[in-house]
A and B are shown apart, each in its own frame.
Chain A
Amino acid sequence: GAGVSQTPSNKVTEKGKYVELRCDPISGHTALYWYRQSLGQGPEFLIYFQGTGAADDSGLPNDRFFAVRPEGSVSTLKIQRTERGDSAVYLCASSLGSSATDTQYFGPGTRLTVL
């Protein structure tokens, strides 16, 4: 079956611009996660959705970052007034449920470059 998909695969923007990154989870998965992976590092948690609500947004670095999941399926990560330090690969994952034993399945990521 189809895995987690993310669009675009690459995004180049200028400092100060607004960007949106999209994630399509595996069909039927109720939990959705966003992570950020900087060059040479492991992924870092940003936010977790259970259904439509953000159950844990403790990883969002500041108020320029916002994510939504209005219908409990597709999610959009929004970054305002982008900075060069936002350059990273943004990973999305989904899991069937929110149990700690539920496997998170990752998408290929969106590589964001802020010039």
Chain B
Amino acid sequence: AQSVTQLGSHVSVSEGALVLLRCNYSSSVPPYLFWYVQYPNQGLQLLLKYTTGATLVKGINGFEAEFKKSETSFHLTKPSAHMSDAAEYFCAVRTGAAGNKLTFGGGTRVLVKP
């Protein structure tokens, strides 16, 4: 069975500082990995995804993530936090060619301090 672990349910960063959100997964087959962001009272919005190819994936709003198979990780980063980045972030895994459901981590809530 696939699972996703997000280290840290809450992260506080200063505006302009590095944002680092950690995600580790377990999967018996090559994984497809996703990061979604959820703003208050809104639906989940896709930030970026890894399927195949380049392991460093760039997404919207300046975010990027790197797939590291040896570490079973897919950490999300942004060099400089903005106040508008305050939200909840979810890592998810989708398995193989037949997999049609997302398994999500518990989420990390990001607070940005001025």
A interface, by DSSP: helix, strand, loop or mixed? loop
Residue of B43, B97, B103, B107 near A41 (CB, 8 A) is: B107
Known: A101-B51, A103-B49. A42 touches B100 (CB 8 A): no
Query: Which residues of chain B (21-71) have a CB below 8 Å from chain A?
Result: 32, 36, 41-46, 49, 51
Question: What CA separation (Å) do A44 and B46 show in the bound complex?
Answer: 17
Nearest chain A residue, comparing its CB with the CB of B98: A100
Known: A100-B94, A100-B96. A45 touches B43 (CB 8 A): no
A-B CB contact pairs (8 Å), 13 listed: A3-B43, A4-B43, A31-B100, A42-B104, A43-B102, A48-B100, A99-B97, A100-B95, A101-B32, A104-B46, A106-B43, A108-B41, A108-B43
Please give 10 more A-B residue pairs, beta carbons under 8 A apart, in addition to A98-B100, A100-B98. Answer: A35-B102, A42-B90, A42-B105, A48-B100, A59-B101, A93-B44, A101-B32, A106-B36, A108-B41, A109-B43
- Which A residues fall within an 8 A CB radius of B? 3-4, 31, 33, 35, 40-45, 48, 50, 55-56, 59, 91, 93, 98-101, 103-109
- Which B residues fall within an 8 A CB radius of A? 4, 9, 32, 36, 41-46, 49, 51, 90, 92, 94-107
